[in-house]
With several copies, the nearest count.
Chain A
Amino acid sequence: MQSEEYRKAIEAILLVSDVPVEPSLLAQLLEIPKAEIENICSELMAEYENDNRGFVLVNVAGGYRYQTDPSMAPYVERFVLEGQTSRLSAAALETLAIVAYKQPISRMQISAIRGVNVDAVIRTLQQRGYIGEVGKDPGPGNAILFGTTSTFLERLGINDLSDLPPLSNFVPGADIVEALEDGLRPDQYNDVLDSQQHNDEAKPSNDEAASK
């Protein structure tokens, strides 16, 4: 079988699959090394891009699949109508972020971070298929542990969890830490500042009153 034929076979298989196809499965079906599959797929990706096709080949959630080119979204949306996935609330997104970065994690641990009961949010995320039960805590209570699913990876358009930006990118800078700290500090230091603040406020108040 020629390389041309492999290429063609991959295109045909990907066309009829409704889930991302793992390169190892393609390798098994075509009886060629996985590395070669990956080469061919990279070539296909480049070809479609060069030819300015309306579809793209992507590597997502551990496999290859066909998707529409993002620039064609307005037309596709007009066609699918109902395809619009409903948006997640801020609360759901934050919970999802915690699960994504700290999995496997129990409901209780998520609640401890969010400071609120997360039962309802967890249920929503589970129903949408973004998170799932991945095990049980071996400790007392045997709490259910949650993790993200391949649907989550698909939804985010990433191949695996290592494609997420590192959490350290989001650790608040020293300025924020200080602001928070000062906000919660009942010591002399703040008192001094406070009294300065009052002085500062006292001065312009005349003008303010006049301008009203």
Chain B
Amino acid sequence: MSYEVDTPVFAGPFDLLLHLILQDEVDLYQVSLGGIIEAYLAEIQRMEGVNLAVATEFLLIAATLIELKSRRLLPDTSDLDLEEELALWEERDLLLARLLECKTFKDASQALKALSNDASLSFPRLVGMEEQFLGLMPDLLEGVTPKSINQAYLRATAPKPQLDLFHVTPVKLTVAETVESLIEELPVLGKTTLKHLTKSSVDRVEVVIYFLAVLELYKQGVVDLTQIKTFGDLTISWLGFDEDTDFANINTYEG
């Protein structure tokens, strides 16, 4: 088996990043980007000389983090190219969406593990047919010729080419765009639910992006959110905004 970044701590960059951000859930608000970047870079250094694919992915994410940090250090951002800045935000949104997805499956895998642990206490009977009946079994080789054995061997050992484009991410939607479209859509709808908004979404990441966009609007005070029970559907009510609502402030929306 190839090297897996499994021991001692993390299986891949998302895993590490998730851990770094969530390690101190109690002090949610004390997580600083700077600290994350430092720990992240330290981890990359520790991984010196391992799996190239993993290391590349690490570097990509580290670069995004560093860009985010440098953006923060600039005293005045107004001279930043708008295109560039939007691209950076998109990167961040993407990273966030992927982290959420990673976390979801991480938790799901624990549920599978629990199921499998329970199941492994019960052993199936695999003894099979009793000798007295074996003679009755139909001849499975009827119609099989030496030539078909030869062909089956060639089939079994034939090359199976595989495309490996693992670094390509299929996500197309961004939070910025979604906020934009929601500001147009929600006043018309008045009251709606997250499920309704995302009913045409094929990809789960899209749902996550919608969720983030709604969260942004909530922070700006233009919508109200209610969720009756945990994991229940999220009801979104449009509150509207006054002239002076500063949308430039919406974290993923510029102009």
Kindly state the separation between the CA atoms of A100 and B119 in the bound complex, as whole angstroms.
17
Chain A residues, Cβ within 8 Å of B22: 176, 179-180, 183
Q: Mark A7-30, 1 if CB is under 8 A from B, else 0.
A: 000001001111000000000000
B146 at interface, CB cutoff 8 A? yes
B243 at interface, CB cutoff 8 A? no
User: Once the chains bind, are B57 and A157 in contact (CB under 8 Å)?
Assistant: no
User: Once the chains bind, are B141 and A67 in contact (CB under 8 Å)?
Assistant: no
User: Once the chains bind, are B115 and A156 in contact (CB under 8 Å)?
Assistant: yes
User: Once the chains bind, are A176 and B136 in contact (CB under 8 Å)?
Assistant: no
Partner of B116, one of A68, A69, A155, A202: A155
Closest to B157 in A: A173
Chain B residues, Cβ within 8 Å of A111: 166-167
Instruction: State whether A58 and B12 are in contact (beta carbons under 8 Å apart), knowing that A16-B130, A156-B145, A187-B2 are contacts in the complex.
Output: no
Partner of B3, one of A101, A187, A194: A187
Tell me what chain B mostly uses at the interface: helix, strand, loop, or mixed: helix
User: Once the chains bind, are B12 and A76 in contact (CB under 8 Å)?
Assistant: no
User: Once the chains bind, are A80 and B136 in contact (CB under 8 Å)?
Assistant: yes
Chain B residues, Cβ within 8 Å of A91: 4, 6, 11-12
User: Once the chains bind, are B146 and A113 in contact (CB under 8 Å)?
Assistant: no
User: Once the chains bind, are A176 and B103 in contact (CB under 8 Å)?
Assistant: yes
Closest to A92 in B: B140
User: Once the chains bind, are B128 and A123 in contact (CB under 8 Å)?
Assistant: yes
B42 at interface, CB cutoff 8 A? no
Q: Mark A125-164, 1 if CB is under 8 A from B, else 0.
A: 0011110000000000101100000001011111000011
**Which of the four size classes fits the interface of chain B?**
35 or more
Kindly state the separation between the CA atoms of A181 and B252 in the bound complex, as whole angstroms.
12
B99 at interface, CB cutoff 8 A? yes
Kindly state the separation between the CA atoms of A147 and B85 in the bound complex, as whole angstroms.
40
Chain A residues, Cβ within 8 Å of B51: 116-117, 187
CB distance from A137 to the nearest CB of B (A): 10
User: Once the chains bind, are A177 and B146 in contact (CB under 8 Å)?
Assistant: no
User: Once the chains bind, are A97 and B112 in contact (CB under 8 Å)?
Assistant: yes
Chain B residues, Cβ within 8 Å of A129: 134
User: Once the chains bind, are B108 and A183 in contact (CB under 8 Å)?
Assistant: no
User: Once the chains bind, are B160 and A16 in contact (CB under 8 Å)?
Assistant: no
B147 at interface, CB cutoff 8 A? yes
CB distance from B204 to the nearest CB of A (A): 8
CB distance from A66 to the nearest CB of B (A): 4
Closest to A142 in B: B163
Interface residues of A in 84-135 (CB under 8 A from B): 84-98, 100-102, 107-109, 111-121, 123-124, 127-130
User: Once the chains bind, are A173 and B159 in contact (CB under 8 Å)?
Assistant: yes
B139 at interface, CB cutoff 8 A? yes
Chain A residues, Cβ within 8 Å of B215: 174, 177-178, 181
Q: Mark B162-193, 1 if CB is under 8 A from A, else 0.
A: 11111111100000000000000000000000
Partner of B149, one of A66, A100, A174, A178: A100
Chain A residues, Cβ within 8 Å of B61: 115
CB distance from B143 to the nearest CB of A (A): 8
Partner of A187, one of B21, B52, B100, B133: B52
User: Once the chains bind, are B2 and A191 in contact (CB under 8 Å)?
Assistant: yes
User: Once the chains bind, are A88 and B144 in contact (CB under 8 Å)?
Assistant: yes
Kindly state the separation between the CA atoms of A203 and B65 in the bound complex, as whole angstroms.
30
Kindly state the separation between the CA atoms of A128 and B153 in the bound complex, as whole angstroms.
20
B80 at interface, CB cutoff 8 A? no
User: Once the chains bind, are B25 and A179 in contact (CB under 8 Å)?
Assistant: yes
Closest to A121 in B: B4
B54 at interface, CB cutoff 8 A? yes
CB distance from A98 to the nearest CB of B (A): 5
Kindly state the separation between the CA atoms of A180 and B163 in the bound complex, as whole angstroms.
14
User: Once the chains bind, are B139 and A197 in contact (CB under 8 Å)?
Assistant: no
Closest to A141 in B: B163
Q: Mark B75-90, 1 if CB is under 8 A from A, else 0.
A: 0000000000000000
Other contacts beyond A94-B156, A121-B4, A183-B20: 13, CB < 8 A: A12-B123, A66-B125, A80-B136, A93-B110, A94-B109, A97-B111, A117-B54, A155-B142, A170-B111, A172-B100, A177-B211, A183-B33, A187-B2
**Shortest 6 CB-CB distances between A and B: which pairs?**
A157-B119, A111-B166, A186-B72, A116-B12, A183-B21, A173-B157
